[in-house]
Structure 1
Amino acid sequence: MAAEQPVERTKLLCPEPSRSDIAETVRTAFTPVTEDAADGGKAELLPAAASSSGAEDEDPENADGDTDADADADAEKPGGTEDAEGTEDAEGDEGTADAEARPAGKPVLTLKEPGKPVSRESSGGDEPALLGTADGRFAPGWTVQQTTKVTVGAGRGLHGTACSVPDTDFWFPGASTAEFRTDYVHLTNPDDSAAVVDIELFGPEGQLETSAPDGVTVPPLGTERVLLSTLTDQPLPDVTAHVSVRSGRVGARVQALDTGNGGDWIAPAADPAGSLVLPGIPKDATSVRLIAYAPGDSDADLAVRLASPTGAITPAGLENLHVKAGMTTSTDLKDVTRGEAGSLLLTPTGREVPVVAGLQVVRGKGAKQETAFIPATGAVTTRATALGNTAKGTTLSLAAPTADATVKVTSSAGSEGGTGTSKTYELKKGTTTDIDLPVPSGLKGTYALVIEPVSGGPVYAARTLAEKLDGIAAFTVQTLPDDRGRVAVPEAAQDLTVLQN
Structure 2
Amino acid sequence: MSSLLSDLRVRLGVCVLALGVVGGLGVVTHAKAPVTRGEGVDEPTRTVVNRTAMACPVPGAGGKVESWVNAVSPSLPDGTPVAAGDSTPLTIAPLSATSDPVGSVLARGKIASTARTPKLETLSIRGTGPLAAGTAATSTTVGEEGVNRGMASVPCQVPGSDFWFVGASGAAGRRDVLVLTNLDSINAEVNVTFYAANGVQDVQNARGVVVPAHGTAEIYLGQVVKLPDLALHVVSSGGRVAPAVRDNASSGKSPAGVDWLNASTQPALKVTVPALAGGSGVRILTVVNPGDLQASATLTINGPNGPFKPADLSTMQIPAGSTKVIRLEGALKKYASAITVTSDQPVTAATRMTNSAVTEFSTLGATDPLRGPAYVVLPPHDQPVVLQVTAPGESAAVRFELRDATDKVVQTRSLDVVGGATNVITFKPQTKPTYLMVEQLRGDVVAGATLMPPAKPESSDIPLVAAWPLTTSLVFRAQLGAQPDTKAALN
Query: Which interval holds the TM-score relative to the shorter structure?
Result: 0.7 to 0.9
Contact 1:116/1:412 (<8 A) preserved: no
Alignment of 1:124-139 (within 5 A): 124=118, 126-139=119-132
Using the alignment, how far apart are the partners of 2:384 and 2:151 within structure 1? 12
* 1:37 partnered with 2:82: yes
User: Residue deviations 1:247-278, cap 9 Å, x none?
Assistant: 21100010111013213100221001110000
What letter matches 1:423 in structure 2? Answer: R
Alignment match, 1:410: 401
* 1:254 partnered with 2:299: no
* Max Rg structure: 2
Residues 421, 134 of structure 1: alpha-carbon distance in 2 compared, 3 angstrom cutoff: farther
Contact 2:45/2:478 (<8 A) preserved: yes
Using the alignment, how far apart are the partners of 1:328 and 1:242 within structure 2? 13
* 1:353 partnered with 2:345: yes
2:417 paired residue among 423, 427, 439: 427
Alignment match, 1:186: 179
Using the alignment, how far apart are the partners of 1:445 and 1:493 within structure 2? 49
Alignment match, 1:292: 287
Alignment match, 1:267: 262
Secondary structure of 1:355 counterpart: strand
User: CA RMSD for the aligned pairs?
Assistant: 2.6
TM-aligned CA deviation for residue 281 of structure 1: 0.3
Using the alignment, how far apart are the partners of 1:327 and 1:263 within structure 2? 26
Secondary structure of 1:435 counterpart: strand
TM-aligned CA deviation for residue 28 of structure 1: 0.4
Residues 236, 444 of structure 1: alpha-carbon distance in 2 compared, 3 angstrom cutoff: closer
Q: Percent identity?
A: 26
Residues 211, 31 of structure 1: alpha-carbon distance in 2 compared, 3 angstrom cutoff: same
Contact 2:63/2:148 (<8 A) preserved: no
Contact 1:153/1:259 (<8 A) preserved: no
Alignment match, 1:122: 116
What letter matches 2:127 in structure 1? Answer: A
Residues 138, 336 of structure 1: alpha-carbon distance in 2 compared, 3 angstrom cutoff: farther
Using the alignment, how far apart are the partners of 1:486 and 1:328 within structure 2? 34
Contact 2:63/2:147 (<8 A) preserved: no
* 1:393 partnered with 2:384: yes
1:104 paired residue among 98, 103, 117: 98
Contact 2:296/2:315 (<8 A) preserved: yes
TM-aligned CA deviation for residue 471 of structure 1: 3.7
User: Residue deviations 1:368-399, cap 9 Å, x none?
Assistant: 53211111111111110121254742111100
User: Residue deviations 1:154-176, cap 9 Å, x none?
Assistant: 35211111011111122211100
Structure 2 residue runs without a partner (length 5+): 1-34, 36-43, 487-491
Secondary structure of 2:130 counterpart: helix
Contact 1:155/1:256 (<8 A) preserved: no
* 1:304 partnered with 2:299: yes
Residues 375, 490 of structure 1: alpha-carbon distance in 2 compared, 3 angstrom cutoff: closer
2:317 paired residue among 297, 300, 322: 322
Using the alignment, how far apart are the partners of 1:300 and 1:405 within structure 2? 29
* 1:14 partnered with 2:56: yes
TM-aligned CA deviation for residue 42 of structure 1: 2.7
Secondary structure of 1:154 counterpart: helix
Contact 2:290/2:346 (<8 A) preserved: yes
* 1:461 partnered with 2:447: yes
TM-aligned CA deviation for residue 486 of structure 1: 1.8
2:468 paired residue among 478, 484, 487: 478
Structure 1 residue runs without a partner (length 5+): 50-102, 497-501
Contact 2:299/2:315 (<8 A) preserved: yes
Residues 334, 493 of structure 1: alpha-carbon distance in 2 compared, 3 angstrom cutoff: closer
What letter matches 1:263 in structure 2? Answer: V
Using the alignment, how far apart are the partners of 2:102 and 2:275 within structure 1? 31
User: Residue deviations 1:82-136, cap 9 Å, x none?
Assistant: xxxxxxxxxxxxxxxxxxxxx1111122101111211123232x33212222322
Alignment of 1:156-305 (within 5 A): 156-210=149-203, 212=205, 214-232=207-225, 235-260=226-251, 261-305=256-300
Using the alignment, how far apart are the partners of 2:388 and 2:229 within structure 1? 26
User: Residue deviations 1:19-61, cap 9 Å, x none?
Assistant: 2341112310011223421232331122114xxxxxxxxxxxx
Contact 1:25/1:122 (<8 A) preserved: yes
What letter matches 2:98 in structure 1? Answer: A
What letter matches 1:463 in structure 2? Answer: A
Alignment match, 1:376: 366
User: Residue deviations 1:327-365, cap 9 Å, x none?
Assistant: 1211222343212210001112xxx31112111212213
Using the alignment, how far apart are the partners of 1:244 and 1:491 within structure 2? 23
What letter matches 1:407 in structure 2? Answer: V
TM-aligned CA deviation for residue 430 of structure 1: 0.6
Contact 1:370/1:472 (<8 A) preserved: no
TM-score normalised to the size of structure 2?
0.81
Using the alignment, how far apart are the partners of 1:237 and 1:338 within structure 2? 26
Contact 1:286/1:335 (<8 A) preserved: no
Residues 240, 308 of structure 1: alpha-carbon distance in 2 compared, 3 angstrom cutoff: same
What letter matches 1:327 in structure 2? Answer: S
Using the alignment, how far apart are the partners of 1:492 and 1:330 within structure 2? 42
Contact 2:70/2:379 (<8 A) preserved: no
1:451 paired residue among 438, 451, 457: 438
Contact 1:308/1:342 (<8 A) preserved: yes
Contact 1:287/1:335 (<8 A) preserved: no
Contact 1:155/1:259 (<8 A) preserved: no
Contact 2:138/2:379 (<8 A) preserved: no
Residues 115, 179 of structure 1: alpha-carbon distance in 2 compared, 3 angstrom cutoff: same
Using the alignment, how far apart are the partners of 2:312 and 2:484 within structure 1? 63
Using the alignment, how far apart are the partners of 2:415 and 2:368 within structure 1? 20
